[in-house]
Amino acid sequence: MAEKVRYSPGAAPRDFREAIEALGAARLAELFGVHKNQIWVMKQRRSIASQYWRIIADEARAKKIPGLSLADLQRMKLERFPNSLKKTQGLRG
């Protein structure tokens, strides 16, 4: 059964899953140089490794998709993994 698409074209993606839907799994696989199954795993995990963020931001800008700047992607990460900020700052908590 196909997964329900949550992204509304023209709107800013709210999370990594919607970012993948907005840009297209096949296109991201091509841009990242990975198999499409790896994009599916990222979508299921609701997380995209930061090494790909620049590629996402550049592709979104080229396609005029709002809400996928590097700052937006960082916000998505912090919303998904709130403790990641503490880890990156070397704080305990």
- Give residue-wise pLDDT tens across range 24-59: 999 999 999 999 999 999 999 999 999 999 999 999
**Is 8 inside any structural domain?**
no
Residue 68's domain comprises: 16-88
Query: 89: pLDDT confidence band, cut at 50, 70 and 90?
Result: low
pLDDT of residue 1: 45
Q: What is the average per-residue pLDDT within 81-85? A: 80
Can you tell me whether residue 46 is helix, strand or coil? coil
Give the number of domains in the chain: 1
**Is 93 inside any structural domain?**
no
**Is 66 inside any structural domain?**
yes
**Is 55 inside any structural domain?**
yes
pLDDT of residue 31: 98
**Is 63 inside any structural domain?**
yes
**Is 11 inside any structural domain?**
no
At 32, which helix (H) or strand (E)? helix 25-32
N-terminal to C-terminal alpha carbon distance within the chain: 41
Identify the CA nearest to 80 among candidates 91, 72, 69. Answer: 72
**Is 60 inside any structural domain?**
yes
**Is 64 inside any structural domain?**
yes
pTM of the model: 0.82
